[in-house]
Structures are given as structure tokens and as C-alpha cells.
Amino acid sequence: MLKALNLFKIKTLLLIASLLVLSGCFPSNDLGRKEYLLQGNTMGTTYSIKVVGENIDKAKLQQGIDAELMQLNQEMSTYIADSELSKFNQSTSLEPVNVSMGLARVIKEAIRLGQLSNGALDVTVGPLVNLWGFGPEYRPETVPSTELLNTTKARIGLDKLVFENNTLAKKIPDLYVDLSTIAKGYGVDLVAEYIEANGINNYLVEIGGEMRLKGFKHTGELWHVAIEKPLSTERAVHQIIIPKDNAVATSGDYRIYFEADGQRFSHIIDPNTGKPINHKLVSVTVIHPSSMTADGLSTALMVMGEEKALAFANEHDLAVYIIAKTDHGFVEQSTVKFMQYLK
Ligand code: ADP
Ligand code: MG
């Protein structure tokens, strides 16, 4: 008998190192700049945005950001039954359908990263996610049977999803696309682009732990970000990084999982085995200009496990920092490209 003992829905793996009081606006300094804090909810999590400038109309900016995020949710949330993606998932037609610009952008990157990672990142893995109880559908009481696992595995694979000329088509009627692994990162990019389009070039955008930053704080210092210690019981700083004008994404299975008979089941599925990942890698942090790319890569590397992840990161010249669990505690390793960001 298996019981879902421990499910932590909150996944904010990164903390802003400099803890600030929760007022809407911070005092100006010699530079005449102010820091404005915008907070809200989206994609089943929270967002926290800091913008730095002079005379920013905070309410108007937040309205614009919320509108962008609402549209994103209406395009690709699997929790909204009539979202564009949900309708595609519900349909059993094999005919190509036109997709919105936003959905096209995310699908294209999902397919690119899926191929690059040799299938470690697979946005058609949804039926397996649901089977293991981490999707919007249901939470199972038992570990699925091998037979059910195999029939479900037959329903997944990026080769069954065709994206061409801004149209999307299924090759099997019950293909299910779940973009949750890169949608938050895309949301961060969307918000960052919106902020820049409004003439603001100093900001920090964070949605559910995914971040993108640019420029400076109101004090004139660079933004600092902390990688958390990989513990599900407490929140503490493990390593401070200075990512400069980049996005930071962390994938880790120590906040969202369930436990059964002493075994821990991650919410990240290895598409090759059809099972939740089960190795010593506990967190992967990626720094990249695009939050969507960083988000997808962090999950892909998490699926690969320690050795493959480091080999892949070096081969593709990626800025990656990993924490693995050993008998002697946590051991961290970073690629050469990541080292410039370590404080
Ligand atoms: P993390 O930040 O820990 O990588 P995310 O929330 O970004 O986690 O992504 C995990 C979610 O992505 C899961 O809840 C599931 O819906 C989906 N998922 C799980 N395994 C995979 C995979 N191999 N490829 C793509 N998506 C996955
Ligand atoms: Mg991710």
C-alpha cells in the first residue's frame, strides 16, 4: 500500500540573497533610482518582480504584466480546460491546427531541446506524469503495474508530435502535451521582454523559482542570487551567484515528491524508463540568456543524472552547477563556463 506522504507544491529553489522588506517601493539613492516590487500569482505559483528606475507607474506596469501572463495561461495551461493546449490535447483529430505565436514559440523550443537532449526532455510525457500522480488528473494509491506502464509509454514520444508552418498535429489520437517544464521559464522571458519594451533595463523577474535579471539594483550593485541547500525541511543558502544579464533555472526533486516504503518518487520522469528519476543528482542550476531554455535544460540535465549531465553540459558549453548526494554529504560541481558567476 502506497501513500502520498510528502508533497510540497511550493518550488522556489532560488532565493533572492538580499532579503528586502515587503514594501512596494524602496527609497531612492544618490543615483535617483527607486526599486519597485510587484508580486502576484500565476501558473499555480507566485511571481516576484523588481524593477529599478525613476517614476515607474507600478500599477500600470503590473496590469500589463498580468495581461501577458493571463494570455500565456490561456494558451498553454493544462489546468485550464479550455486553454489552447488543453483543446489540442482533448481533440482526437490528426489534422494540423494553427497555433498562436506564444504556443508556437514554446513548442518549437520544447522540440529543439527534446532532440538536443536525446529525449531526456519530452513534453509528451504527460500521460506518465499523470500515471505517477503529478499531473492535473489524479493521484494514484499504488505504483502502476508494468502492463499499464508499457501501454502508457506507447503513447509518448516527440516523434508523434509534428510542428510545421506554425501548425501542430498529432500522429496518434491520444497524444498529450504538457509544457509545464518550460512554461514558467517562458513566462519569465515574456515578462522580461514586456518590461524592456517599457523602457526599463534594470530588473529581476522571478516566477516559481525561475529567474531572469538585467542591469543593477537601485543601489548600483549587481543582482545576487542564492542557490538553496538541497533540503526539503529547511531553506538555507548554499551558494551565492552573480548571473549578470542572464536567466537562472534550477531543477531539483527535493521539494516536489512523494514517499512510499522509504523510496522517494520524483515528479520528473525519465522518458526512457517511464519511471520517476532515481539517482544521486539532487539539483541542477543552469545560467543562460533565455529563461525558457535554462528551464528546459535544467530538467533535461536532471533526467540525465550526474555523469551524463556534466558530459552534456561540457559538450554544449553550458553554464551548469550541480549538487549530488554522496555518502559523505552533498558534493557540488560546476562547468568552467559557470565559474565566472560564482561569488
Ligand atoms: P523542475 O523545475 O524541478 O525541473 P518543473 O516544474 O520545471 O520542475 O518541471 C517538472 C514538470 O515537468 C513535471 O511536473 C511534469 O509535469 C513535467 N515533466 C516531468 N518529467 C519530464 C520530462 N522528462 N520532460 C518534460 N517534462 C517533464
Ligand atoms: Mg524546469
**184-215: per-residue pLDDT in tens?**
999 999 999 999 999 999 999 999 999 999 99
Q: What's the pLDDT band for 341 if we cut at 50, 70, 90? A: very high
Of the chain, the percentage scoring pLDDT greater than 90 comes to 68
Percentage of the residues of the chain whose pLDDT score is greater than 70 = 83
Predicted local confidence at residue 27, as pLDDT: 52
Residue bearing cell 506596469: 61
Q: Which residue has the cell 555518502?
A: 327
Cβ–ligand 1 contact at 178 (below 6 Å): yes
Q: At 264, is the pLDDT very low, low, confident or very high (cuts 50, 70, 90)?
A: low
| pLDDT tens digits, one per residue of 130-181 | 888 776 555 556 688 899 999 999 999 999 999 999 999 999 999 999 998 9
Which atom of ligand 1 lies nearest, measured to the CA of 209? 2
Looking at the chain, how many residues does it have? 343
Ligand 1 within 6 A of CB of 267: yes
4 has pLDDT over 80: no
Give distance in angstroms: CA of 314 to centre of ligand 2. Answer: 20
* pTM exceeding 0.75: yes
Please check whether residue 39 lies inside any domain of the structure: no
Residue from 184, 299, 308, 323 whose mutation best tests the ligand 1 pocket (most atoms within 8 A of CB): 299
Atom 17 in ligand 1: residue holding the nearest Cα: 181
Give the distance, in angstroms, between the CA of residue 335 and the centroid of all CA atoms in the same chain.
Answer: 21
Q: Which residues contact 146 (CB under 8 A, 6 or more apart)?
A: none
Is the predicted pLDDT of residue 64 greater than 70, yes or no? yes
**99: closest CA among 111, 114, 87, 109?**
87
As to burial, measured by CB atoms within 10 angstroms (0-12 exposed, 13-18 middle, 19+ buried), residue 80 is middle
Coil/strand/helix, residue 263: strand
Residue 253 alpha carbon, nearest atom of ligand 1: 3
Residue to substitute in 268, 272, 291 for testing ligand 1 pocket (most ligand atoms within 8 angstroms of CB): 268
Q: Answer yes or no: is 18 within a domain.
A: no
Ligand number with the minimum distance to the CA of 14: 1
Is any ligand 1 atom within 6 A of the Cβ of residue 299? yes
- pLDDT tier at 279, thresholds 50, 70, 90: confident
In angstroms, the CA 46 to CA 207 distance is: 6
H-type alpha helices, the chain: 58-76, 84-90, 101-116, 126-131, 146-153, 180-197, 291-304, 306-315, 336-339
Grid coordinates given for 187: 513566462
**Is 265 a member of any domain?**
no
Which of 92-96, 133-137, 220-224 shows the lowest per-residue confidence on average (mean pLDDT)?
133-137
Whether 126 is covered by a domain: the verdict is: yes
Q: In angstroms, what is the span from residue 181 Cα to ligand 2's centroid?
A: 5
CA–centroid distance, 309 to ligand 2, in Å, is 14
Q: Place 129 in a pLDDT band, splitting at 50, 70 and 90.
A: confident
CATH of residue 158's domain is 1.10.3980.10
Compute, in angstroms, the gap from residue 71 CA to the centroid of ligand 1: 22
**pLDDT, the chain, mean:** 86
Supply the DSSP symbol for 272: T
Comparison of pLDDT for 322 and 265, the residue scoring more: 322
Full domain range(s) for residue 150? 80-170
Structural domain count of the chain = 1
* 66 vs 72: CA distance, rounded Å: 10
Residue 263 pLDDT > 80: no
> Looking at the domain assignment, is residue 113 inside a domain?
yes
Tell whether the torsion through CA atoms of 190, 196, 201 and 203 is positive or negative. Answer: negative
Verify whether ligand 1 is closer than 6 Å to residue 109 (CB atom). no
At residue 288, φ and ψ (nearest 5 deg) are -155, 150
Per the domain annotation, does 147 fall within a domain?
yes
Cα–chain center distance at 274: 20
Nearest CA to ligand 1 atom 19: 268
Tell me, yes or no, whether 291 lies in a domain: no
209 within some domain:
no
